[in-house]
Amino acid sequence: MSAVLERWNRLPQDEAEYEILPCCGSREWARRMAVRRPFEGEAQLLTAAGKEWSDSGERDWDEAFRSHPRIGETRAVLPAHGRSAAWSAQEQRQSAGAGDAVKAALAEANREYEERFNRIFIVCASGKTASEVLEILRRRLQNDPENELREAVEQQRQIMELRIRKWLSQ
């Protein structure tokens, strides 16, 4: 078991919630994860995290989405936990180096997405260039609202899993 997980298992409820919150961004998800402790290892924690995420509702999903900055930006819609902000910067590192034309296209596509779906665009951007993210965003603009919500929820799940692994390896 990682030292981080071992220590987290012993924290008071409120501290445990605060510590895991940056992995997802939903306070209710963080609360439910802290209640489920102790976890014996990473695999058990990841399984529980996925279950709690899929059992969440649209309100919790939207809160998690708002904890991220827009693709190509550095500040989240909701004030972000310091660790979440740092992870977002890492995850968008390849997008940050895009040329002005791609950055402008991303900003415009983000605006269109928010008008169409009334939420920010969520994608697991780790390892993707700004051009790849723009292509994904444009494709997802064609989704109907129900399918797009499912895709956004899945992208957030992938982000959450990556962040849990980062957190445990600190």
pLDDT per residue as tens digits for the range 51-80: 999 999 999 999 999 998 887 765 655 555
81 is catalytic: no
Domain ranges of the chain: 3-168
Q: What is the pLDDT at residue 82?
A: 61
Q: What is the pLDDT at residue 91?
A: 53
The catalytic position among 32, 66, 68, 157 is: 68
| SS3 state at 168 | helix
For the domain made up of 3-168, the CATH class stated in words is mainly alpha
Q: What is the pLDDT at residue 1?
A: 79
Helices (H), 11-141: 13-20, 27-35, 42-54, 58-66, 82-91, 93-96, 100-117, 130-140
Q: What is the pLDDT at residue 170?
A: 87
3-class SS string, 39-53:
CCCHHHHHHHHHHHH
pLDDT per residue as tens digits for the range 8-52: 999 999 999 999 999 999 999 999 999 999 999 999 999 999 999
Q: What is the pLDDT at residue 118?
A: 95
Better pLDDT: 5 or 93: 5
Q: What is the pLDDT at residue 70?
A: 82
pLDDT per residue as tens digits for the range 74-132: 565 555 556 655 665 555 555 556 688 998 999 999 999 999 999 999 999 888 999 99
Return all residues near 46 (Cβ < 8 A) that are at least 6 apart: 161, 164, 165
Between CA 48 and CA 127 the distance in angstroms is 26
